[in-house]
Amino acid sequence: MENLTPLLEQLATKLGTTTEYLWTILLKQAPIHAFTIIGAFIFCILFGILLLRIFSKYRDTVEYKMDWQIPFIFISIIWMFVFIIVIAYLSSAITALLNPEYYALQQILNAIKHSCL
């Protein structure tokens, strides 16, 4: 942990700012990150419900024609991939919301790791 302070100062110097300002900005960014991911999660849930309602409506009224099934399947597959990605980021959002200091530290360590590569 004592090795982190010089690395943090080096990163702040590269960004042209102070370590205190960098830390403050990252703490303010944590809830923004969390609410963005949670908003995407809620949007995916609502869009999934809409897809189910559309499917149940057309399944009962249309005689299984391919004109609506292919686009529906394509949109459903895209929705599934987006939903999986949002689920993967949901733990990061919860961490950022409940523990913003850990989120800030994680962001700094990731920036240091990527700047060393």
Domain edges within the chain: 32-116
- Is residue 99 predicted with pLDDT exceeding 60? yes
Residue tagged 């990527």 (tokens): 114
Q: Write down the pTM of the prediction.
A: 0.76
Q: pLDDT tens across 6-18, in order?
A: 777 777 788 788 8
Q: pLDDT tens across 19-77, in order?
A: 888 888 889 999 999 999 999 999 999 999 998 888 887 776 656 566 677 788 899 99
- The pLDDT value given to residue 107: 85
How far apart are alpha carbons 8 and 15 in whole angstroms? 11
Q: DSSP state, 64?
A: -
Which residue from 49, 56, 40 is spatially nearest to 90, judged by alpha carbons? Answer: 40
